[in-house]
Amino acid sequence: MIDHLSLITGNAGKAAEYAELLEMPVTPVQEDLLEIQSLDVEEVVRHKAHDAYLAHGAPVLVDDTALTLLAWNGLPGALIVWFLKARGVEGLLTMAAEETDRTATVTTAIGYADAHGVQVFTGNLHGALTRTPRGTNGFGYDSIFVPDGHDRTYAEMTPEEKNELSHRRLAVNALRTGLGLTTETNA
């Protein structure tokens, strides 16, 4: 039975979020890993999890996220972090200003690696890109993504509201099931 996990990240807040979602201790571990560049977030995570396990020598979690726009045939995908670094949220909205179809999907892929290999678990949430940033909570593209069935961006939601429906929650649920961490009391 797994009762503790290490997450490859330099972000203690992300490890705390995973600890809350997984209902177990998650320790942040900083590893300087080479990250392949691909639109496919699962491919990025599979490679990163394999390398993280080799470097760490113990079971590890890694994650990555993607934001894809239907009108852009899957861009920026897993390259979203580079789009945001280069242009920021406002720049991304400027690039998408002429798009009438603002359909977007956000995806989290979580890689778990141990001596038996790598398993990848994903969570996808469909929604739309806003025309202007809204809200002050969260990070990254949270201020410009509205999940289907909602009228607020992630950044306009409380962290608890976001965690209940987010793509990360869906990926964690898949991870819990895949690793046998789901029990009657937390299913």
81 burial class (0-12, 13-18, 19+ CB within 10 angstroms)? middle
pLDDT digits (tens, 9 = 90+) for 50-83: 999 999 888 999 999 999 999 999 999 999 989 9
Res. 173 pLDDT band, cuts 50 70 90: very high
- Please tell me the CATH code under which domain 5-178 is placed: 3.90.950.10
From the list 51, 63, 64, 142, the catalytic residue is 64
pLDDT for 120 beyond 50? yes
Q: For the chain, what are the domain ranges? A: 5-178
The mean of the pLDDT values for the chain is 92
Residue among 132, 70, 141, 83 nearest 108 (CA): 141
pLDDT digits (tens, 9 = 90+) for 121-170: 999 999 999 999 999 998 889 999 999 999 999 999 998 899 889 999 99
64 is catalytic: yes
The mean pLDDT of 15-41, rounded to a whole number, is 89
Contact 141, 68 (CB under 8 A): no
pTM of the model: 0.89
